[in-house]
Amino acid sequence: MRTALWAIILKELRQTFRDKRTAALLIVAPVIQLIVLGFAVNLEVDHVPTAIVDLDRTPESRRFADGLVAGETFEMKGNVDTGEEAIELIDHGKVCIAVVLPAGFERSLGDGLPTQVQLLVDGGDSNRAIIAQNAATAYTTQVGFRLAMDRAQQQAAALGVFVKRPALLQVQARILYNPTLNSHIYFVPGVGGTLLLVVTVIVTSMGLAREKEAGTMEQIMVTPMSPMVVILGKTLPYALIAFVDLGLVVAGGALIFKVPIRGQLWLIGLAGILYILTTLGIGLLISTVAKSQQQSFMLAFFFMMPAILLSGFMTPIANMPHWLQLVTHFNPVRHLIEVLRAVLLKAATFSDVAPQLVALGGLGITVFLLAVMAMQRQLK
Amino acid sequence: MSLDEHVIEVRDLSRKFGAFTAVDAVNFDVRRSEIFGYLGANGAGKSTTIRMLCGLLAPTTGHATVAGKDIARDPVGVKRSIGYMSQRFSLYLDLTVQENLQFFAGAYGIGGKKQRVAVDAALERAQLQDSRNVITKSLPGGVRQRLALASALIHKPVILFLDEPTAGVSPDSRRDFWRMIRGLAREGTTLFVTTHHLDEAEYCDRIGLMVDGKLVALGTPPELKREHVAGAMFALADTDHRALRAALAGDARVLQIQPFGRRVHLRVDAALGTPVDIQSMLTGRGVAFGEIQRIEPTLEDVFLELVGGAS
């Protein structure tokens, strides 16, 4: 029994590391993908290409425009003379936002009249459009307040009287857990969850299909090995590799993207084990249906796409319709990502992530048992 | 343990798949150290029988024992006592020769020092001592076949099942392979071989012939030829089988006329025992013929006779 199990594990590891491509898929690819996806999946908005339409051409209008592009958010791409030209630039994708300062900007401000600044925003990328618009609005409000203060003080000085500062209500936002709004911190756990999914589901399902194609499955079946030994022998090595990958992703996230590790790592380990149980089970289930490696790959893909989309990796689950939110409770990727985020960023304790762990455990045991039953039926 | 001991006993063994009966109430015994050939066309029920006898498939009705173990009640016991090699020589092509042998030894629970001994013995049997670290994929077909045989024997099974073992192998390798098979039988291993090469079946001690799920003939090759191919057979050179058939039409002594390569096989009543008898029968019938030779019927003739009768 133990001899047979060890024989299968050794054989799987030998085959995996003999084929350079599989070995690379399992060990190197997760790290490279973490880096590539980590940099690519970046929701921070800065260096928004910006055009200025200064119809006033006065010191005040120039000061406004210079101040706008002085920060990180906007990047000056050029001055144009008319609003039409600005729209043309947006049309061609040269700029994403154009700020129109009307003629008489300085004089109107000097007279204390309501003065308007027009924003032209490319709404094609709605996330970037909203953030750019908010940033431009905030800047305009700030300039308006400074002008009001300056004017009040000048008048007070001219009259030789003391005036109180005008009342001011400000929002003071303090962002917890991720004060710099580093979006890598949000994404690295997601990348970890999806990578483990790919490694475990694809490798298990294709590994068994390969044996069917080569006829070695038949040869295994005439040996006295029990179906359980075959299943364990064909999953344990990949569970171990996936576990190493999880460690690599957490370590890579910390070293490369400065993702903090605030909580206890054993919670991540436990969640990882339960998660891998589910994904390996799905791999086994696919392999009982698929007749070839190609079919396995397609089926694995059909499972993985929705699992990733409904995991909260890219889009918040809270934004999904209610019925779809219910569906995500059956998605192991969702629970793993939640545990990773909570433990890494919020130092969550066991009781904090207990619901997710229970969900992962329930899914893991159910799916793995189903897979074992399906496999046993097939191996008999 | 006598040589007459039955290592396989099959009684009324049947297997149905839905309404289709793949194996229909088959009965036979296989004696220790015998080479038993199981013949039949594709779909005749050979594979289904072998799968049942290897403990892979439960019978619908009837029963069988293999190495003293009941195939339905103790399939694991059956698997421990048998070796199995399919026509695909199911080896891991990305593993080395030695790694394949180590895996199959381990799969039969042979570990540690015993495994090293078993692997070395298998390497010697397959004459692959110098290629133990060669990746299996780079071996030619005949060598792979030797390796597959050695790995099927690694746990010293009482019975070895060979399912179409020589499909896709060169004639030279086939001859070598049968030499090894006969050597195994001499050492006391029982061999159960399926094949559709009728010339190979001549090497078997006894033969069972399957047609449409039924065992229609059972016996040694000479017995089968005697029982199922009546009369005397002659080979006629330089003659046309259509002309011969026309010339002999209505002659009750003629049993069968069949073209065979560039010759014609003529089977007649046993009373006509010599080429001279044939010559006198054909003389004056207006048909040209060359040399006449008395020949022994082949298993092919047995097969044609039986399959012809069944259809």
Token pair in block for residue B213? 């799920």
Report CB contact under 8 Å: A225, B95. Answer: no
Length, in residues, of chain A: 380
Domain count, chain B: 2
**Do the strands B190-195 and B159-163 form a parallel or antiparallel pair, or are they unpaired?**
parallel
Token pair in block for residue A141? 């409000």
**φ/ψ bin of B25: left (φ > 0), alpha (ψ from -120 to 50), beta (otherwise):** left
Contact call for residues B255 and B230 (beta carbons, < 8 A): yes
Report CB contact under 8 Å: A218, B105. Answer: no
Q: Give the position of tokens 């790959």.
A: A297
From chain A residues 225-254, the ones with a CB under 8 A of any chain B CB are: 225-226
**CATH of span A48-159:** 3.40.1710.10
pTM of the model: 0.76
Q: Is residue B282 part of a domain?
A: yes
For residue A8, the chain B residues in CB contact (below 8 A) are: 103, 106-107
Q: Chain A: give the shortest CA distance to residue B86, in Å.
A: 8
ipTM of the complex: 0.81
Contact call for residues A291 and A217 (beta carbons, < 8 A): no
Q: Chain B: give the shortest CA distance to residue A228, in Å.
A: 13
CATH number at residue B193: 3.40.50.300
Report CB contact under 8 Å: B79, A222. Answer: yes
Query: Where does a domain end: B195, B219, B243?
Result: B219
Q: Is residue B274 part of a domain?
A: yes
Instruction: Provide DSSP, B22-55.
Output: EEEEEEEEEETT-EEEEEE-TTSSHHHHHHHHTT
Domain boundaries, chain A: 2-42+182-379, 48-159
For residue B110, the chain A residues in CB contact (below 8 A) are: 3
Does residue B214 sit in the same domain as residue B242?
no
User: Phi/psi of residue B66, each to 5°?
Assistant: -125, 125
**Other C-beta atoms within 10 Å of A66: how many?**
11
Candidates A19, A348, A359, A40; CA nearest to A184 is A40
For residue B56, the chain A residues in CB contact (below 8 A) are: 221-222
Does residue B26 sit in the same domain as residue B146?
yes
Q: Which chain B residue is nearest to residue A217, measuring alpha carbons?
A: B90
Q: Is residue B212 part of a domain?
A: yes
Does residue B236 sit in the same domain as residue B206?
no
As to burial, measured by CB atoms within 10 angstroms (0-12 exposed, 13-18 middle, 19+ buried), residue A85 is middle
Contact call for residues A190 and A281 (beta carbons, < 8 A): no
Cα distance between residue B218 and residue B224, in whole Å: 7
Report CB contact under 8 Å: A222, B109. Answer: no
Query: Where does a domain end: B219, B238, B260?
Result: B219
Q: Which chain B residue is nearest to residue A2, measuring alpha carbons?
A: B109
Does residue B180 sit in the same domain as residue B102?
yes
Does residue B72 sit in the same domain as residue B134?
yes
* Cα angle A96-A98-A102, degrees, rounded to a multiple of 5: 170
CATH number at residue B233: 3.30.70
Query: How do the pLDDT tens digits run along chain B, 311 residues long?
Result: 455 689 999 999 999 999 999 999 999 999 999 999 998 888 888 989 999 999 989 999 999 999 999 999 999 999 999 999 988 778 999 999 999 999 999 999 999 999 999 999 999 988 899 999 999 999 988 888 889 999 999 999 999 999 888 777 788 888 888 888 999 999 999 999 998 778 888 889 999 999 899 998 899 988 888 888 888 888 888 888 888 888 888 888 888 888 888 888 888 888 888 888 888 888 888 888 888 888 888 888 888 778 765 43
Q: Which chain A residue is nearest to residue B99, measuring alpha carbons?
A: A11
For residue B150, the chain A residues in CB contact (below 8 A) are: none
User: Could you list the residue range(s) of the whole structural domain that residue B106 is in?
Assistant: 6-219
Does residue B196 sit in the same domain as residue B55?
yes
Looking at residue B1, its pLDDT comes to 47
Token pair in block for residue B29? 């015994």
Whether B168 contacts chain A with CB within 8 A: no
Does residue B215 sit in the same domain as residue B186?
yes
Does residue B14 sit in the same domain as residue B112?
yes
Looking at residue A148, its pLDDT comes to 82
Q: Chain A: give the shortest CA distance to residue B80, in Å.
A: 6
Looking at residue A380, its pLDDT comes to 63
Token pair in block for residue A151? 């004017």
Facing B92 at nearest CB: one of A1, A4, A216: A216
Ranges of chain A whose pLDDT falls below 50: none
Q: Chain B: give the shortest CA distance to residue A226, in Å.
A: 8
Looking at residue B310, its pLDDT comes to 42
Candidates A237, A238, A228; CA nearest to A372 is A228
For residue A226, the chain B residues in CB contact (below 8 A) are: 76
Looking at residue B106, its pLDDT comes to 96
Candidates A70, A43, A68, A51; CA nearest to A131 is A43
Q: Exposed e or buried b for every residue in B186-197, given b needs 16+ CB within 10 A?
A: eeebbbbbbbee
Report CB contact under 8 Å: B107, A226. Answer: no
**Do the strands B214-219 and B263-268 form a parallel or antiparallel pair, or are they unpaired?**
unpaired
Looking at residue A9, its pLDDT comes to 94
C-alpha distances (whole Å) from B30 to each of A341, B207, B262 are 67, 10, 39
Q: Exposed e or buried b for every residue in A219-254, given b needs 16+ CB within 10 A?
A: bbbbbbbebebbbbbbbbbbbebbbebbebbbebbe
Cα distance between residue B101 and residue B155, in whole Å: 10
Looking at residue B74, its pLDDT comes to 93
Per-residue model confidence as pLDDT tens digits over B261-282: 888 888 888 888 888 888 888 8
Does residue B199 sit in the same domain as residue B169?
yes
Q: Is residue B96 part of a domain?
A: yes
Dump strand ranges (E) for chain B.
Answer: 6-17, 20-31, 35-40, 61-66, 69-70, 82-85, 159-163, 190-195, 206-211, 214-219, 232-236, 254-260, 263-268, 292-295
Looking at residue A109, its pLDDT comes to 85
Four-residue CA torsion sign, A236, A34, A187, A301: negative
Q: Is residue B253 part of a domain?
A: yes
Q: Is residue B1 part of a domain?
A: no
For residue A223, the chain B residues in CB contact (below 8 A) are: 79, 104, 107-108
Per-residue model confidence as pLDDT tens digits over B210-219: 989 999 889 9
Report CB contact under 8 Å: A7, B99. Answer: no
Q: Is residue B129 part of a domain?
A: yes
Four-residue CA torsion sign, A58, A61, A64, A67: negative
Angle at which helix A293-309 crosses helix A332-346, to 10 degrees, equals 50
Does residue B74 sit in the same domain as residue B201?
yes
